Amino acid sequence: MALEPLIYELSSPGRCGVHLPGLDVPASELPAALLRTELDLPEVSEVDVIRHYLRLSQLNYGIDKGFYPLGSCTMKYNPKVNEDAARLPGFAALHPLLDIEDAQGALMLMYHTQEWLAELSGMKGVSLQPAAGAQGEFAGILMIRKYHLSRGDTKRTRILVPNSAHGTNPATVSMAGYEAVELPSDENGDVDLDALLAACDDTVAGMMITVPSTLGLFEARLPDVIKAVHDCGGLMYMDGANMNAMMGVLKPGELGFDVMHYNLHKTFSTPHGGGGPGSGPVAVNEKLLPFLPGPIVGILEDAGSLDDVPLFGWVMPEQSIGRLKAFHGNFGIIVRAFTYMRMNGGSGLHDVSRYAVLNANYVRTALRDHYVVPHDRTCGHEVVLEGHWKDVPGIHALDISKRLMDYNFHPPTNYFPLIVPEALMIEPTETESKETLDAFIEAMKNIAREAHENPELLLEAPHITPVGRVDDVLAAKQLVLCCVPIPDWAGSPEFKTSTD
C-alpha cells in the first residue's frame, strides 16, 4: 500500500482553509518579541485538512473497526449510549467545586455506582477515587498497610505475589514500601500451595492474586490459598481486572477477599487504550471500610418520604488513607460505566460474563489442535496459547501476531503472562458474534499452516499495513516523535515501510 502524502507535502503558498470573520475590535500590533518569524505551517484547503484527518483516523485500529482480542485488556464494544450519557451538559460541564446542593444528580449517580460495585463484589464499601487499575492496587495495599499499623502490628513487611501476576502487582507492592515475594505456579497453572504455606508467617501483610488468573484459569484451590494467608494474619487482595469472567457468578467478598479493584474501563465498556483515562474503584470488606480513600459519596440526610430523594454529599472515612486524585475520580468514565450497568441490569451483567467465558472456551477448543494450549482446561474469559511450534523453531509469537494484522485482526497480547513461553493471550469478550469468532479461528488456523508451509509470510508480516515490520529495538533507542523532517537514518535498510 502506498503511503498517502503528508499534509506538509500538499501545502501550496497562499492556500487557506479558514476564513476569519472581519475585525469587530480595533486592530493592534502583536508583540514582535513573542512572534516566530519562521513558522513552517502547511497552507492547505479545508478539504485537504478533512481528508488528512479522516485518513489518519482510518489508519488507527480500534474496537469500532474490528475484532480486538487483546487479552487482559477486555476490549469489548463500547455502546454509544454511554457516550450520550457522558456528554449530557449537566454531567460534562459540571464544575468539581460546585456546592453539593447543585450537584445532586452527579452525586446520586456516583452513590449508585458505589452500590452496584459493592453488590457485584460482595463487599461493604467502595471508593471511586482511583484513576486506573494500578492506582486501585496502590490504594488497596496502602489500606492493608494502614490496617496492620492501626493494630500496632509493625512486623509485616512482605506481600506475596504469584509469578503469573500482572507487572503492576509487584510494582504496587514496592511502591507501598513492601517487599514482593514471588510465588511459583504448579503444573496446572495454579499457585503452588506448598510454596505458599512455606512463605506464610507473621511477616506477611497480605497477598495479591488475580481471579481468574492471568492464564485465564480459576485457581482450583482458591479457598485454601485465602485460608493460608488469613491464618497467618495477612489480608487478601484480589486484582479484579478479570471481573468480566465473574459478574453475577461469584462475589470476591463472599470468597473471603478483603479488598479488590475494578477496572471500569475494562469490565464496564468505557473506551480505553493509549493510556487512559480509566477508572479503578476499590471495594473493601468491613475490616478495611474505615481506611477507604476518600472522600466517598454518602447520604447526608435520609429522604423524608418515599417520594423524596435523600441528600447526597461527601464523606471522609474515619482513618482514610487520604485522597488519591484531584477532585472525585475520572467522573466521565464513572458515568459511562454506570450507564452500562443500568442498560444491562443485573441479569444482563450475568449474561455478559457467561458469554465472555463461553466465547473464550469456543476459541480454545477450536484452536487446541493447531496451537499448544499449555493448560487445556475450562478457562475463564480468556485463553493463553503458545505462539510457537517445536517443528518450526524460527517462528515466534510476534510473527503470528504480525501476520494476524494481514487478516485484519488486532493481535492478541504477546509474551504475557511471563510463565508461558511465547504466550499469546486471547480475550474475545462477549460482544463478538459467532461469525467473527469463526473468522478469527480460521485466520489462526491458516497462520498455523502458513508457519509450516511458508514461514517467510509470517516473518515478513504485516504486508498490508501502511508501515511494515518496524525495528522495535531501533525505535526504542532512537525515538522520533515528529514526522518531519525525515531523519537521515530513515532511508536505511532497518527502517522499512511497505513503499520500499
Stretch of 44-52, 75-83, 128-136, 474-482 contacting ligand PLP, by CB under 6 A: 128-136
* Binding string, residues 476-495; x marks residues near ligand PLP by CB under 6 A: --------------------
Nearest in space to 136 (alpha carbons), one of 316, 9, 302, 266: 266
Count of residues in contact with ligand PLP, rule CB under 6 A? 13
Q: Is 439 exposed, middle or buried (0-12, 13-18, 19+ CB in 10 A)?
A: middle
The angle, 0 to 180 degrees and rounded to 10, between the axes of the packed helices 434-453 and 397-406 is: 120
Q: Kindly state whether residue 413 participates in binding ligand PLP, applying the rule CB under 6 A.
A: no
Question: Of 129-137, 173-181, 248-256, 467-475, which segment contacts ligand PLP by CB under 6 A?
Answer: 129-137
b/e burial code for range 341-379 (CB count within 10 A of at least 16 → b): beebeeeebbebbebbbebbbbbbebbeebbbbebeeeb
Q: Based on CB atoms, which residue is closest to ligand PLP, 213 or 320?
A: 213
With CB under 6 A as the contact rule, the residue among 263, 344, 353, 414 that binds ligand PLP is 263
Radius of gyration of the chain (CA): 26
Contact 417, 409 (CB under 8 A): no
Report the distance separating Cα 155 and Cα 201, nearest Å: 10
When the beta carbons of 279 and 361 are compared against ligand PLP, the nearer one is 279
Convert residues 151-190 into a mask of x (bound to ligand PLP by CB under 6 A) and - (unbound). Answer: ---------------x-x----------------------
Provide the 10 A C-beta neighbour count for residue 230: 16
Q: Is 414 in the site for ligand PLP (CB under 6 A)?
A: no
Of 278, 317, 428, 462, the one binding ligand PLP (CB under 6 A) is 278
Cβ proximity to ligand PLP: between 189 and 278 the closer is 278
Stretch 197-226 residues interacting with ligand PLP (CB under 6 A): 210, 214
- Piece of 106-114, 116-124, 130-138, 290-298 that binds ligand PLP (CB under 6 A): 130-138
Nearest distance in Å: CB 309, ligand PLP: 32
Contact stretch for ligand PLP (CB under 6 A) within 126-134, 331-339, 388-396, 448-456: 126-134
User: Is 249 in contact with 353 (CB distance < 8 Å)?
Assistant: yes
d(CA 234, CA 202): 8
Strands (E), 263-349: 282-284, 296-301, 311-315
> What does the alpha-carbon distance between residue 252 and residue 238 come to, in Å, rounded to a whole number?
7
Q: Provide the minimum distance between the beta carbon of 240 and ligand PLP in the complex, in angstroms, as a whole number.
A: 8
Minimum Å gap between C-beta 444 and ligand PLP is 22
Closest listed residue to residue 133, CA positions, set 12, 329, 281, 308: 281
Residue from the set 132, 199, 296, 352 that interacts with ligand PLP by CB under 6 A = 132
Residue whose entry in the numeric block shows the C-alpha cell 469478550: 429
Q: Are 382 and 457 in contact (CB under 8 A)?
A: no
C-alpha distances (whole Å) from 438 to each of 16, 145, 332, 371, 442 are 49, 48, 35, 16, 6
Which member of 48, 63, 72, 236 binds ligand PLP (CB under 6 A)?
A: 72
**Which one of the spans 127-135, 313-321, 338-346, 384-392 is the region binding ligand PLP (CB under 6 A)?**
127-135
Q: Which residues bind ligand PLP (CB under 6 A)?
A: 72, 132-134, 166, 168, 210, 214, 239, 241, 263, 278, 280
